[in-house]
Structure 1
Amino acid sequence: MFKIDGFFTSGWIFDESEQYLKNRYQMVNIGILLSAGGLIYGIIGNYIRDISGFIPIEVALLCMNFVIFFALRKYRNFFEYFAIIMTLQYTFLFLFLIYIGEPNDLKHLWIFTYPIILLYFQKTIHAIYWFIFIIFMLIIAPLQNFIPIKYSMYQVTYISFVLIIISIIIYFYQRKIDEARNIILEQQNMLRDFNLELEKQVKEKTTELIKLNESLELKVEQKLEELKSKDQILQTQSKQAVMGEMISMIAHQWRQPLSTVTLQIANLQFKQLLGKDRSDQDIDKALSNISDTIVYLSDTIDDFQTYFRPDKEIVDIEIHELLQRAVNFAISRINDKKIRISVNKLTDIHVKIYINELVQVILNILNNAIDAHNDLNVKNPFIALSVKVVGNKVLIYVQDNAGGINSEHLSHLFEPYFSTKGKNGTGLGLYMSQMIVQKQFGGEIEVETSQNGSTFIVKIPKNIG
């Protein structure tokens, strides 16, 4: 199949480092075609006007063009020689127009294309030599006595002056183009290096996750062996149920953080595809978010391992800071959804709690609110988080305007495996959240709903222990 780009590059393939050579190939082929067209037009015109003196020269130049045209497609290593021949041909042609032509014919105007030809046919230093040569030949044209010319010294000087101006303009214009192209190539190389580094880091983090998974599987097996030794009959009856529930919970907790990592990476790659610059700030922010998410996954594994132990670490933390941490994990899901999430803070409220467990609870409620917004597409969607202290308890409010919850579903919200999302839901999020709040914090989760939206209220002691 005919390809126009391959035609002008003589069918050769060039990599990114050979763009300059590719441009020269294209211009030489274009020059050959235009020159051939001009020569054919000149031959026909001279034949009609019965000017036979130019026809042999034009036919010879035309034949030379065809030879070079086909030779370029067979001998790539001889390009520089072909470029010299083409330059010599044009130099001879332009000087021929001055030495033989009439000023009134205006054929000398073609000489002003000479700087463009030199720019692509020859390297810069060689182009300067050719240019000096043609200027010299123009200046001495009226002074030599071998060939009588019709141009005066003033005319050839004027032509030379204009030719110099055009050459300078074209030279500096091309330099700007080359500088821009070099900058683009440098940016492409930087992006390529960044992608390689990012792939390396993702691979390393993936390896760490695999090791964590293997460690978790080993510890689960150890716990199963302990239970088996204590009560073999009970273990036989409940093994599959316990394992299935635990794995489902882990999968549910990991799904959103892993999606966050994927979205961060995809966002950077999408910017590259669109040709947008990726600032160091964007890259650092993405890597920081990915690192935070992986730490969260690691902490989640530890949480499941120590879930029923009474010796978990209680941490003193400002409650709004904890809510913001949960929001940060969910923020990547709303980057293109126009959902506004706000953490409303009136004053500092310090609590002593299990941090990761409460983050898991808030994140589950946030994900449900985001899913509800995605299904409903309300105008000006928002999710608002706020905190109020009542006595020795802290009340955390998660409010949305996603249309509320059907009354028939309210009584089943916290039941295991109950979900309104069909195949997309596991039915474990709110069940697990209620279980964590009740067993780990001695609190409860309540729900208020209307046609406008829902409010989940997480009630826990201000200080545990």
Structure 2
Amino acid sequence: MIGILITVSLRSKYIVNRLQESDARRAKVLHNIEYTNKMATLGRLSASVAHEINNPLAIINEKAGLINDIASYEPEFPKKDKIIALVDSITSSVERCSRVTHRLLGFGRRMEFRKEQIDMESLINDVLDFQKSEAAHRNIRVNVNTEANLQTIQSDKGQLQQVFLNLINNAYNALDKDGKIDINIRHPNTNEIEVTITDNGVGIAKKDLIHIFEPFFSTKGESGTGLGLSITKDIVEKLGGVISVTSEEGRGTCFIVNLPIERVE
């Protein structure tokens, strides 16, 4: 009798485990379907926005070029040097906007990969320069710690700048005045470079962590689009890397990005 009860108990436990595994697989499949649908929607939206922006950009670029030609070839043009410098600034900004719209068009499909040798410490410092005035105004301390003899990596500089601009901007948004951001760059092994971005801000609730990379999910309420981290994850994976996050409410958040030294096609 005891043997029968043990057999029934073990069999029941086996069936329950199989049902739980089946439910977990089903949930994962449904999640992947939902994620794919959201990414497709976002890809169509991005293409539409990029198209609408490119049209006026082309007109601005054309008119700026015309002003530059007039100023350059007219000997008595008033304040000639100042006008040419201002026009150069306009065309430079147009080029930057064009690169952004190119990435919007590439989102949701495979983006063209532009391989070059990248010094990760220099890239991070370039990104930090964009927000140095905010750091000074809010008295936020940013520490960059780099492992000795760090290798360069083969990757896409523009796309990596977008990744770390998003992550560092998120860290700033999580901080109050007098906050701190630690950025560590190291080799976890001979094939990868690892960048961690740690803040001592508000943190992310445990229930939100599993959704943090999903398109349209935001912890910022109406002020957030829910696209920044999903775009970041998509770019990192297209570059052959992995991104993860740990966080604790009231103590801060750490994003970890692992990238290959050389991307495998």
Name the structure 2 match of 1:136: none
Tell me by how many angstroms 1:396 deviates: 0.7
Aligned with 1:444 (options 227, 236, 242):
242
Give the Å deviation of 1:299.
Answer: 2.6
Deviations 1:206-261 (A, max 9, x none): xxxxxxxxxxxxxxxxxxxxxxxxxxxxxxxx99764324457x6xxxxxxxxxxx
The one of the two structures with greater contact order (alpha-carbon pairs below 8 A, sep at least 6) is: 2
> Cα gap change, 1:402/1:390 in structure 2, threshold over 3 Å: closer, same or farther?
same
* Alpha-carbon distance between aligned partners in 1 of 2:90 and 2:180, rounded to the nearest angstrom: 25
> Residues 21-70 of structure 1: CA distance to partner in whole angstroms, max 9, x if unpaired?
xxxxxxxxxxxxxxxxxxxxxxxxxxxxxxxxxxxxxxxxxxxxxxxxxx
Paired residue for 2:11?
none
**Cα 1:302/1:244, change in 2 over 3 Å:** closer
Deviation at 1:433, TM superposition (A): 0.5
**1:409-428 residue pairs with structure 2 within 5 A?**
409-428=208-227
2:147 and 2:186 in contact (8 A); partners too: no
Give CA deviations for 1:137-181 in whole Å, capped at 9, x if unaligned.
xxxxxxxxxxxxxxxxxxxxxxxxxxxxxxxxxxxxxxxxxxxxx
Question: Aligned in 2, Cα 1:290/1:401: closer, same or farther, shift over 3 Å?
Answer: farther
Question: Partner letter of residue 186 of structure 2?
Answer: K
Distance in 2 separating the partners of 1:319 and 1:302: 23
Structure 2 Cα separation of the partners of residues 310 and 245 of structure 1: 13
State the 1:309 CA deviation. Answer: 5.1
Structure 1: which 5+ residue stretches go unaligned? 1-237, 251-286
In 1, Cα distance between equivalents of 2:119 and 2:99? 19
In the alignment, which of 191, 195, 201 is matched to residue 402 of structure 1? 201
Q: Is the 8 A contact 1:306 1:312 kept in 2?
A: no
Deviation, 1:318, is 0.8
* Structure 2 Cα separation of the partners of residues 456 and 401 of structure 1: 12
- 1:341 aligned onto 2:139: no
Shift of 1:411: 0.8
Name which one, 1 or 2, has greater alpha-carbon Rg: 1
Superposition deviation, residue 387 in structure 1: 0.9
Residue matched to 1:299 = 99
Q: Which residue of 1 aligns with 2:114?
A: 313
Aligned to 2:182: 384
Residue 393 and residue 417 in structure 1: after superposition, are their counterparts in 2 closer, same or farther (change >3 A)?
Answer: same
Contact 1:320–1:349, Cα closer than 8 Å, also in 2: no
Measured at CA, do residues 428 and 396 of structure 1 come closer, stay the same or move farther in structure 2, by a change above 3 Å?
same
Matching residue of 1:368: 170
State the distance in 1 between where 2:119 and 2:209 align: 31
1:330 and 2:131 correspond = yes
Taking every aligned residue pair, what percent have the same amino acid on both sides?
A: 28
With over 3 angstroms needed to count, the CA separation of the structure-2 counterparts of 1:244 and 1:299, relative to structure 1, is closer
Contact 1:293 1:329 in 2 (8 A): no
Residue-by-residue CA offset, 1:163-201 (whole Å, 9 max, x unaligned): xxxxxxxxxxxxxxxxxxxxxxxxxxxxxxxxxxxxxxx
TM-score normalised to the size of structure 2? 0.61
Specify the SS of the correspondent of 1:388: strand
In the TM superposition, what is the alpha-carbon distance from 1:329 to its structure 2 partner? 2.1
Aligned residues: 187
Deviation at 1:288, TM superposition (A): 11
Distance 1:462 1:435, change over 3 A: same
| TM-score using structure 1 length | 0.36
Larger strand percent? 2
1:320 Cα shift? Answer: 0.5
Distance 1:330 1:457, change over 3 A: same
Please state whether the residue corresponding to 2:218 is helix, strand or coil. Answer: coil
* Paired AA for residue 182 in structure 2: A
The corresponding residue for 2:234 is: 435
The answer to whether the aligner puts 1:354 opposite 2:156 as a matched pair is yes
Secondary structure of the 2:147 match is: coil
Q: Which amino acid aligns with 1:407?
A: K
Q: Is the 8 A contact 2:215 2:226 kept in 1?
A: yes
TM-aligned CA distance change 1:367 to 1:305, over 3 Å: same
Unpaired runs of at least 5, structure 2 = 1-38, 51-86
1:65-96 CA-to-partner distances (Å, cap 9, x unmatched) read xxxxxxxxxxxxxxxxxxxxxxxxxxxxxxxx
